[in-house]
Structure 1
Amino acid sequence: MVTTATGTYVYGVVPADVETDSEARGVGGDGAPVTVVRHGRVAALVSEVNLDRPLGTPDDLLAHEALLDATAAVVPVVPVRFGAVLTDEKSIVDEFLAPHHDEFAATLGRLDGKAEYVVTAKYAEDALLREVIAADPRLERLRAAIRDRPEETTREERIELGEAVGAAIDARRRADAQAVVEALAPATTTAVEREPVGEFGAANVAVLAETRRERQLVRAVEDLARRWAGRVEVRLLGPLAPYDFTEAQPWDSSAPS
């Protein structure tokens, strides 16, 4: 008879009194239910996983994130990085929960009533270029100097213009990212500036906010979007698990990769 090797996949840590949704399913595509392994005041969200099937598909990652994000909308959760698998429930307690029980409990207390939200901003390309050139007469002179002239005879001017425009965009990006942080500050606890996405990314800011103040956060983003209409597209994502606010913690090294 062929037997299937299984392990216990760990998603994150929650308060011990949390009950899982009977409909929740984990990674692996085999429909394994999500359960909890409790120890003291904390518990691990887990599911059984088939070790004969390698993890790492886009569907696995989406399932991992979807479970954590749905959890963060209702209870505090400390996310575990994708792909953490231990042998069984005993090893989860002995190797994961027990050694860091107090750190987990303290972090869950700090996160209680809060979730992560992410605000992304993307420049309208034409509007951005018009803006940076209009703000610096030197750029307009460079652009005029190469207009209608062959590329091979204006190589140096084109390089100079490209470098100058790039520097101007970087400066504007830094200012706009700070403007996002300041606009969100009244509705948030703390913020982390992440690398903007794409050539015309303006800002990518993760914030930790109380879920009861979500409406205030939404209004702040809407106000920013109105102020930047036609110039920058602004989006709000969340509530999400606090990925950006629980990194480099003591338990991270204990979570297997």
Structure 2
Amino acid sequence: MRFPARAGRRADMDQSATYIYGVVPQDIEVDAEATGVGDPPAPITSIRHGKIAALVSDVSPGRPLGTPKDLYAHEQLLNATAAEVPVLPIRFGAVLASREAVVEEFLAPYHDEFAAALTELEGRSQFVIKGRFVEETVLGEILAENPEAAQLREEISTLPEDAARDHRIRLGEIINQSIEAKRDADTAAMWDQVEPVTVMQTVRPPSHELDAVHMAVLVENTRQDDLDRAVEDLARKWADQVTLSLFGPMAPYDFIVSQEQDGE
């Protein structure tokens, strides 16, 4: 799903500003208690145009954005929205000068693209699968599978710290290479496991040196239980080797590609 690259750019402002969170179908009803960025958090409203609407809040042009609290509020609002309706998430920090500018510069020029993308997302949700190697187990496997690593570890235990420096560097290289290979294998196994019950999958970069799996999937809402079972089945198989977690539903960042990112 392509997303106009200009949508997330910040506009220059003098006196007032409108912060944009995402795009939703025009018939959405905004929770009266929903709040977003700001201190105190600003109420969320919608700006409608044709078949679509933008989720927005007022912000002070002079107030810097980007605090952990702001980032959390942005993410939580979009994830809560994604659990109820299709949403096209905007990257953090998109601000236009006024509510009128949101229509004129954002919703109107891209109305058809936004509407088509929302149609594609109808009835679908993003989930993220994360797996973390059990450190003691994976290191034990590497030592058992690699005689050089086992020998280096034994020699390190008998050498003075300075004399063992090269041994430690080499052992670290072996461990890193082995973990990368195991990560590739486990990611491929997870891909095959969830592919039959998902619409799309994408592999994310590892967020930790012990990551075994880090991927996002787009799934039909009617098949969320199937996804749960697929992940649980592999979690049982990997019980002593990898700790698996399934997060979602959440805003489908991983399946929205800007025209700029797509090379157009």
Would the TM-score normalized by the shorter structure come out above 0.5? yes
Cα separation, partners in 2 of 1:250 and 1:92, compared to 1, 3 Å: farther
CA distance in 2, matches of 1:249, 1:15: 21
| TM-score normalized with structure 1 length | 0.90
Deviations 1:66-115 (A, max 9, x none): 11111111111100111111111211111001111111011111111111
Counterpart of 1:126 (choices 115, 136, 147) is: 136
Whether 2:173 is the aligned partner of 1:195: answer no
CA contact (8 A) 1:8 1:88 kept: yes
Q: AA paired with 1:23? A: E
Q: AA paired with 1:247? A: V
Q: Partner residue of 2:236? A: 226
CA distance in 1, matches of 2:165, 2:77: 53
Q: Partner residue of 1:22? A: 32
Q: Partner residue of 2:251? A: 241
Q: Partner residue of 2:22? A: 12
Q: Partner residue of 1:54? A: 64
Q: AA paired with 1:8? A: T
Q: AA paired with 2:139? A: L
CA distance in 2, matches of 1:105, 1:250: 19
CA distance in 1, matches of 2:158, 2:20: 61
CA distance in 2, matches of 1:198, 1:208: 23
CA distance in 2, matches of 1:22, 1:154: 64
Larger deviation, residues 156-165 vs 9-18: 156-165
Cα separation, partners in 2 of 1:155 and 1:55, compared to 1, 3 Å: closer
Give 1:84-233 correspondences, 5 Å limit.
84-233=94-243
Cα separation, partners in 2 of 1:162 and 1:251, compared to 1, 3 Å: closer
CA distance in 2, matches of 1:113, 1:237: 18
Larger deviation, residues 105-114 vs 183-192: 183-192
Whether 2:46 is the aligned partner of 1:36: answer yes
CA distance in 1, matches of 2:49, 2:169: 62
Deviations 1:220-243 (A, max 9, x none): 121121111121111111000001
Q: CA RMSD in A?
A: 2.0
% of aligned pairs identical? 50
CA distance in 1, matches of 2:210, 2:203: 16
CA distance in 1, matches of 2:45, 2:153: 62
State the number of aligned residues.
249
Q: AA paired with 1:241? A: A
CA distance in 1, matches of 2:168, 2:19: 54
CA distance in 2, matches of 1:11, 1:87: 15
Q: AA paired with 2:197? A: A
| TM-score normalized with structure 2 length | 0.88
Give 4+ residue runs of structure 1 displaced > 6 Å after superposition: none
Give 1:244-255 correspondences, 5 Å limit.
244-249=254-259
CA distance in 2, matches of 1:190, 1:96: 27
Q: Partner residue of 1:255? A: none
CA distance in 1, matches of 2:219, 2:41: 33
CA distance in 2, matches of 1:218, 1:140: 38
